[in-house]
Amino acid sequence: MQDGLSGTGIGLVTVGFSPPDAVGALGEHLSLAGPVLADERRELYRLLGVGRAPLWRVYSAGTVLHYARAVRRGHRLTRPVEDTRQLGADALVVDGVVTRRWRPRSPDDRADPALLVASALRAAGH
């Protein structure tokens, strides 16, 4: 996603609820541009109205299929150490004001990165 924002002056901030070391390692692993912040108390999640999913949504057909494919490719599944029911989200913030939110219903229901980039470019007048 950050490639679509390169040279636009639009920043990308990633926030996770894991401890800072884990969030930082994930940011490095994914080569994320911009700051990668830890919100262990999930204050931003609450402010954005991002809740937790019921178990039947967390382990939806899409999520189970994702893990089945990973096992078939030889990945070893490990027991989760975090809240697997905590949903993520994406938000567009302009001058400190949230102007748009994308809140998924399940872990495999996330906004298309191209849509996020297009929305950010529109908001910035590009």
DSSP classification of residue 80 = -
Strands 97-102 and 90-94, sheet pairing: antiparallel
Calculate the alpha carbon distances from 50 to 11, 44, 92, 107 in Å.
21, 8, 14, 12
Look at residue 91 and give its three-state secondary structure: strand
Q: Report the range of poorest mean pLDDT among 35-44, 45-54, 89-98, 108-117.
A: 108-117
Confidence of residue 3 (pLDDT cuts 50, 70, 90): low
Look at residue 8 and give its three-state secondary structure: coil
Percentage of the chain exceeding pLDDT 70: 98
pLDDT given for residue 20 in this prediction: 93
Residue 125, pLDDT above cutoff 60: yes
Model pLDDT for residues 15-63, shown as the tens digit of each residue: 999 999 989 998 999 888 889 999 999 999 999 999 999 988 888 888 8
Calculate the alpha carbon distances from 92 to 5, 12, 35, 108, 109 in Å.
13, 10, 15, 20, 18
Residue 1, pLDDT above cutoff 60: no
Mean pLDDT in the chain? 88
Counts of helices then strands in the chain (DSSP H, E) = 6, 4
This prediction's pTM: 0.76
